[in-house]
Amino acid sequence: MRRHTLNWLPSWNGELPKDWDKGLPEFPADEKGIAARNASGKVLNYLAGKLPELVGGSADLSNSCQTWMSDCKAFQADLPEGRNIYFGIREHAMGAIVNGMAYHKGVLPFGSTYLVFTDYFRGAIRLSALSEIHSLWVTTHDSIFVGGDGPTHQPVEQIAALRTVPGLMVIRPGDANETAAAWKVAIEHKTGPVLLVLSRQALPTLDRKVYSSASLLSKGAYVLKDFGNGKPDIILMAAGSEVALVAEAGKVLAGEGVNVRVVSFPSWDLFEAQDAAYKRQVFPMEVRKRLAIEAGSMQGWDRWVGLDGVVIGIDKFGASASQKDLALHYGITIDHVLEEARRLLK
């Protein structure tokens, strides 16, 4: 009989090896950047070498979701030590299997697919949250910017819907280093499932000598940068690919003499867990001019912008077109952010 070399007791108890996260990949500043899914793949392969209990795969999308652990074999009947699992094109079955492994303990299981296909295993996602088990869901192609597949593959309402699931931690990182930080949170969060929402397209890797540390992702929302001097006149906030967009808009407005606070907001769930003092530190109550942008449903963002704020988003299905044309058509552009911000400031 084949036996695993894994020491099961620490894994069974959810213990992590000492310094398991000390070598997490760090990504240099880069305007062209890297897709969050590709950054995630690099982080996952680092973790695979540190955490032998990490097992999982995708619904036949490993290459696209970047969830293949390159130094590990595929799980087969005659190779039970394999850690890459071929779930097949069946998201619901994948979700059930991942949950079963999480229930069993001793392993740290993940399943992966495109964000729009979470509809196919929503029941399994909900059950993982209801059961407070450590299932990891890795979703990619996080917005309408997924290429020419058109509205069938372009998520619009999925992020908003998933954020409503009690106990499900949803994280949408804004660049490669936030992606690494998101994986750290996902591994350490043992009281429920975590769902990562990753981009298909390249995201600029922000210069963390200029902007705040990506490790602050663990707070859910954080001040990425204060432009200007004194109290902010306006707060711009975003998650995912739109973070770099509001950062650029902040620079432009600062050049016009406006004090701008830019907030990266990767996880409402993590932010909700912070104390009131931290929340007021990020969002001072007296700063009522706020703007949020997301390349998806606007539902829920009104809570963070308030009655005097503005939300830019998408309230219709996508279309088959280039990323540039889609951004222009739906107003997910720096020009639209600037237009709405200036209107608020008046």
pLDDT in tens, the chain (346 residues): 344 444 555 666 778 888 999 999 999 999 999 999 999 999 999 999 999 999 999 999 999 999 999 999 999 999 999 999 999 999 999 999 999 999 999 899 999 999 999 999 999 999 999 999 999 999 999 999 987 788 999 999 999 999 999 999 999 999 999 999 999 999 999 999 999 999 999 999 999 999 999 999 999 999 999 999 889 999 999 999 999 999 999 999 999 999 999 999 999 999 999 999 999 999 999 999 999 999 999 999 999 999 999 999 999 999 999 999 999 999 999 999 999 999 999 9
Cross-strand pairs, 118: none
Q: What is the DSSP letter of 73?
A: P
Residue (of 58, 69, 65) closest to 140 by Cα position: 65
Residue 7: per-residue pLDDT: 53
Helix, strand, or coil here: 144?
A: coil
- pLDDT number for residue 255: 96
Tell which CATH classification among 3.40.50.920, 3.30.2290.10, 3.30.70.1140, 3.20.20.70 matches the domain 208-345.
3.40.50.920
Q: Measured at the alpha carbon of residue 80, what is the angle toward residues 140 and 24, in degrees to the nearest 5?
A: 45
Active site residues: 91
Domain 8-204 listed as CATH 3.60.150.10: no
User: Which tokens go with 56?
Assistant: 């999982």
* Fold match between domain 8-204 and domain 208-345: yes
The torsion defined by the Cα of 200, 206, 208 and 214, in degrees rounded to 10, comes to -30
DSSP conformation letters of 220-268: SSEEEEEESSSS-SEEEEE-TTHHHHHHHHHHHHHHTT--EEEEE---H
- The ranges assigned to domains in the chain are 8-204, 208-345
Cα–Cα distance, 187 to 68 (Å, whole number):
17
Task: Count Cα atoms within 13 angstroms, Cβ side, for 260.
Answer: 26
Task: Identify the pLDDT of residue 2.
Answer: 42
What's the confidence (pLDDT) of residue 11? Answer: 64
